[in-house]
Amino acid sequence: MHAHGIAALVTLLVSATFGIIVALQLLWPELGRDTAWLSWGRLRYAHTQGIMLGWLGNAFLAFLYHGVPILTGRPVTSRALGAWIFGLWNFAVMVPGWLLVLAGISQPLEWAEFPLVVDVFVVLALLLAAVQFVPCFFARGLESLYVSSWYILGGLVFTLLSYPMGNIVPEVVAGASGAAFSGLWIHDAVGLFVTPMALAIIYFVIPAASRRPIYSHFLSMLGFWLLFFLYPLNGTHHYVFSVIPMAAQIGAITASALLGVDVLIVVTNLFLSMRGSGFVPRDLGLRFVGMSTFFYLVVSVQGASQAQMAVNQAVHFTDWVVGHSHLAMLGFASFAAAGGLVHAWQRIAWARYNARAITWAFWLMTAGMVIMFVDLTIAGLVQGRLWADGAPWIESVQATRPYWMIRALTGIPLAGAFIALLVGLTTGPRGAGLREVEASIGTEPVDEIAPRLAPAAAVEAS
Amino acid sequence: MSGQPQRALRMSYVVASVAGVAFFVMSVALLGWWPKRVLDEQSRAMGPEYVLPLSESARRGRVVYSREGCAYCHTQQVRYLHTDMARFGAPTLAWETRLDYPHLWGTRRIGPDLTRAAFTRSTDWHFAHLFSPRAVVPASVMPAYAALFDGAPDRPRQEARDLVAYLETLGRARELAAPEGEARAREACNCTDDEMAMMAFDGALNAHPGRARRTHEAPALPRSADLDRGRQLYGEHCATCHGATGQGDGPGARGLRPAPASLAEHEYSTDRLADVLWNGVWGTAMPAWRDRRPEDLAAIAEAVRALTRAEPNPPVPDHMVELGARVFRENCVQCHGDEGLGNGPAAAELAMSPSNFHRQRPSLDRAIRVLRNGIDGTPMAPWTARLSDAELIAVAHHVRGYYEGASAAPGGVRR
Contact B39 A180 (CB under 8 A): yes
CATH number of the domain encompassing residue B138: 1.10.760.10
Reported confidence tier of residue A2, pLDDT bands at 50, 70, 90: low
Residues of A within 8 A of B105 (CB-CB) are 179, 182, 239, 242
Are B67 and A105 within 8 A, CB to CB? yes
- Using alpha carbons only, give the angle A461, B5, B8 rounded to the nearest 5 degrees: 120
Please tell me whether residues B278 and B241 are part of one structural domain: yes
Instruction: State whether A228 and B104 contact (CB < 8 Å).
Output: no
Same domain, B64 and B179: yes
Q: Measure in Å the smallest separation between the Cα of B26 and chain A Cα atoms.
A: 8
The SS3 of residue B405 is coil
Residues with Cβ < 8 Å from A253, sequence gap 6 or more?
Answer: A237, A240, A307, A308, A309
Q: Do A245 and B19 touch (CB under 8 A)?
A: no
State the Cα–Cα distance between residues B129 and B131, nearest whole angstrom. 5
- Between these two residues, B201 and B408, which has the higher pLDDT value? B201
Domain ends where: B256, B287, B307?
A: B307
B32 within domain boundaries: no
pLDDT at A453: 65
Whether residue A428 contacts residue A434, with contact meaning beta carbons closer than 8 Å, is answered with: no
Buried b (16+ CB within 10 A) or exposed e, B167-195: bbbbbbbbbebeeebbebbbeebeeeeee
Per-residue confidence at A141, pLDDT binned at 50, 70, 90? low
Is the same domain home to B77 and B117?
yes
One domain for residues B105 and B130 = yes
Query: Distance (Å, rounded) from C-alpha A445 to C-alpha A449?
Result: 7
Rounded-to-5 percentages of helix, strand, coil across chain B: 50, 5, 45
How many angstroms separate the CA of residue B4 from the nearest CA in chain A? 12
- CA dist A319 and A375 (Å) reads 9
User: For residue B354, how far is the Cα from the chain centroid?
Assistant: 19
pLDDT in the model for residue A1: 56
Residues in chain B within 8 Å Cβ distance of A242: 77, 79-80, 92, 105
Q: Which residue has the higher pLDDT, A403 or B95?
A: A403
Question: Could you tell me the pLDDT band of residue A143, with boundaries at 50, 70 and 90?
Answer: low
C-alpha–C-alpha distance, residues B274 and B297, integer Å: 8
Whose CA is closest to A360, among A302, A427, A293, A312?
A427
Using a CB–CB cutoff of 8 Å, tell me whether B98 touches chain A.
yes
pLDDT at A370: 93
* B258 lies in some domain: yes
CA distance B361 to chain A (A): 31
Which of B20, B28, B142 has the CB atom closest to A229's CB atom? B20
For residue A446, is pLDDT > 70? no
Is there a contact between A183 and B137 if contact means CB atoms under 8 Å apart? no
pLDDT score of B414 = 38
B159: in domain: yes
Q: Which residues of B touch A233 (CB under 8 A)?
A: 23, 26-27, 30-31
> What mean pLDDT is predicted for residues A430-450?
66
From the number of C-beta atoms within 10 Å of its C-beta (0-12, 13-18, 19+), residue B5 rates as exposed
Chain B window 339-368: which residues touch A at a Cβ cutoff of 8 Å? none
Distance CA A65, CA A60 (A): 9
Residue A192 distance to chain B (closest CA, Å): 10
Nearest residue to A69 (alpha-carbon basis) of A59, A80, A78: A78
DSSP A366-428: HHHHHHHHHHHHHHHHHHHHHHHTT--HHHHHHHHHHHHHHHHHTHHHHHHHHHHHHHHHHSS
A313 residue type, one letter: Q
Q: How far apart are CA B45 and CA B189, in angstroms?
A: 8
Q: Is B61's Cβ below 8 Å from some Cβ in A?
A: no
Q: What is the pLDDT of residues A93-115, one digit of tens each?
A: 888 888 888 888 888 887 878 88
- Whether B71 and B129 map to the same domain: the answer is yes
CB contact under 8 A, B65 and A178: no
Q: Are residues B88 and B191 in the same domain?
A: yes
Number of domains in chain B: 3
At residue A449, does pLDDT exceed 70? no
DSSP character for B266? E
The answer to the question of residue B285 being in a domain is yes
A177, A238, A262: best mutation site toward chain B, by most B Cβ within 10 Å? A177
Task: With beta carbons less than 8 A apart as the criterion, state whether A323 and A375 touch.
Answer: yes
B137 lies within 8 A of chain A by CB: yes
Measured in angstroms, the CA of A324 and the nearest CA of chain B are apart by 12
| B196 touches A at CB < 8 Å | yes
Rounded to a whole number of angstroms, the distance from the CA of A282 to the nearest CA of chain B is 36
Higher pLDDT, B109 or A103: B109
Going by C-alpha positions, the residue among B54, B63, B172, B68 that lies closest to residue B120 is B172
CB within 8 Å of B3: residues ≥ 6 apart = none
**B175 by DSSP, 3-state: which?**
helix
B163 touching chain A per CB within 8 A: no
Of B184, B201, B218, which one is at a domain's C-terminal end?
Answer: B201
Domain assignment of residue B192, yes or no: yes
Q: Which residue type, as a one-letter code, is found at position B201?
A: F
Higher per-residue confidence, B208 vs A446? B208
Q: What is the rounded (10 degree) CA torsion for A220, A222, A228, A229? A: -170
Question: pLDDT at residue A294 above 70?
Answer: yes
Predicted pLDDT at B275 = 92
Chain A contacts of B146, Cβ < 8 Å?
Answer: 33-34
Q: What angle do CA A392, B106, B205 make, to 5 degrees?
A: 55
Confidence at B2, pLDDT banded by 50, 70, 90: very low
Question: Which tens digits make up the pLDDT trace of A400-422?
Answer: 999 999 999 998 899 889 989 88
Residue A371's pLDDT band (cuts 50, 70, 90) = very high
pLDDT of residue A461: 40
pLDDT at residue B222, as a whole number: 87
- State yes or no: pLDDT of A458 exceeds 70: no
Q: How far is A317 from chain B (nearest CA, A)?
A: 4
B40/A165 Cβ within 8 A: no
Query: Residue B235: how many CB atoms within 10 A of its CB?
Result: 13
Is the peptide bond prior to B258 cis by the omega test (within 30 degrees of 0)? yes
Residue in A with minimal Cα distance to B102: A171
Q: State mean pLDDT over A23-32.
A: 80
A29–B67 CB contact, under 8 Å = no
DSSP 3-state assignment of B198?
Answer: helix
Please report residues of A whose CB lies closer than 8 A to that of B196.
Answer: 241, 246
Q: A405 to each of A16, A364, A400, how far by Cα in Å?
A: 16, 18, 9
Quick check: is B300 in a domain?
Answer: yes
Radius of gyration of chain B (CA): 28
Contact check, Cβ <8 Å, B108/A317: yes
Which distant-in-sequence residues (6+ apart) come within 8 Å of B2 by Cβ?
A: none
pTM, rounded to two decimals: 0.89
Chain A residue with CA closest to B10: the answer is A143
- Residue B49's pLDDT band, with cuts at 50, 70 and 90, is confident
Q: Which residues on A lie below 8 Å from B19 (Cβ)?
A: 225, 229
Whether residues B71 and B166 fall in one domain: yes
- From the list B35, B68, B133, the residue facing A244 with the nearest CB is B35
Residue A462: which pLDDT band, with cuts at 50, 70 and 90?
very low
Q: Do B23 and A245 touch (CB under 8 A)?
A: no
Q: Check whether residue B121 and residue B234 sit in a common domain.
A: no
Spell out which residues of chain A touch residue B91, defining contact as CB-CB under 8 Å: 243
Q: Which residues are within 8 A (CB) of B95 and not within 5 positions of it... i.e. 6 or more apart?
A: B42, B43, B44, B46, B47, B48, B51, B173, B185
Maximum average pLDDT range among A85-99, A240-254, B39-53, B249-263: B249-263
Distance CA A148, CA B52 (A): 53
Report CA-CA distances (Å) from A277 to A280, A286, A288, A454: 8, 9, 13, 21
Provide the domain limits for residue B166. 56-201
Residue of chain B nearest A238, judged by CA positions = B107
The residues with which B206 forms a beta bridge, in sequence order, are B89
Residue by residue, DSSP assigns A299-347 as HHHHHHHHTSHHHHHHHTBSHHHHHHHHIIIIIIIHHHHHHHHHHHHHT
Cα separation, A365 vs B174, whole angstroms = 49
- Under an 8 A CB cutoff, do A29 and B143 touch? yes
Higher pLDDT, B366 or B96: B366
Interface pTM, i.e. ipTM: 0.86
**Residue B183: pLDDT over 60:** yes
Statement: residue A279 has pLDDT above 80 = no
CA atoms within 13 A on the CB side of B278: 17
Measured distance CA(A394)–CA(A408) in Å, rounded: 20
Q: What is the mean pLDDT of chain A?
A: 82
- Of residues B79 and A22, more confidently modeled: B79
**Any long-range contacts for A138-142 (C-beta under 8 Å, 24+ apart)?**
A139/A72, A139/A73, A139/A74, A140/A72, A140/A73, A141/B10, A142/B9, A142/B10, A142/B13, A142/B14
Is B336 in contact with B362 (CB distance < 8 Å)? no
Is B139 in Cβ contact with A29 (below 8 Å)? Answer: no
Inter-chain CB proximity A233 and B71 less than 8 Å = no
Per-residue pLDDT for B155 more than 90?
yes
The pLDDT of residue A244 = 78
pLDDT for the residue numbered B93: 84
Residue B370 maps to a domain: yes
Instruction: Answer with the one of B284, B307, B330 that is the final residue of a domain.
Output: B307
Measure the CA angle with vertex A192, ends A462 and A111; round to 5°. 145
- The pLDDT value recorded for residue B413 is 40
Count of Cβ atoms closer than 10 Å to residue A69 Cβ: 16
Q: How many residues does chain B have?
A: 415
Q: Which pLDDT score is estimated for A450?
A: 61
Q: Looking at the structure, tell me whether residues B341 and B302 fall in a common domain.
A: no
Answer for the pair B304, B371: CB distance below 8 angstroms, yes or no. no
Is pLDDT at B60 greater than 90 in this prediction?
A: yes
pLDDT > 70: what percent of chain B? 95
Nearest to A39 among B96, B133, B143 (CB): B143
Given a cut of 80, whether residue A59 has pLDDT beyond it is yes
Of A427-441, B187-201, B304-318, the poorest mean pLDDT is in A427-441
Partner A, chain B 113-132, Cβ-Cβ below 8 Å: none
B38 at interface of A, judged by CB pairs closer than 8 A: yes
Of B83, B101, B209, the CB nearest to A387: B83
- Using DSSP, state whether B346 is helix, strand or coil: coil
Tell me, yes or no, whether B326 and B295 share the same domain: no
Nearest CA-CA partner of A49 in A2, A4, A102: A102
Identify which has the larger pLDDT, A238 or B299. Answer: B299
Could you give all domains of chain A from N- to C-terminal order, each with its CATH number?
Answer: 2-461 (1.20.210.10)
The enclosing H or E element of B361 equals: strand B360-362
SS3 of residue B89 by DSSP: strand
pLDDT surpassing 50 at residue B1: no
Question: Which of A378, A333, A52, A82 is closest to A196 using CA atoms?
Answer: A333
Distance CA B185, CA B43 (A): 9
Instruction: Kindly state the percentage of chain A with pLDDT values over 70.
Output: 92
Q: pLDDT tens across A317-367, in order?
A: 999 889 998 998 998 999 999 998 888 888 777 778 888 888 999 999 999
- B76 min Cα distance to partner chain A (Å): 10
Q: Whole-angstrom Cα distance, residue A307 to residue A313?
A: 9
Q: Point out which residues pair with B89 in neighbouring strands.
A: B206
| Ramachandran assignment for A89, one of left (phi > 0), alpha (psi -120 to 50 degrees), beta (any other) | alpha
Residues B261 and B165 both lie in one domain: no
Q: In this structure, are B347 and B391 located in the same domain? A: yes
A262, A230 in Cβ contact below 8 A?
Answer: yes
**DSSP code string of B268-305:** E-HHHHHHHHHH--TTSS----TTS-HHHHHHHHHHHH
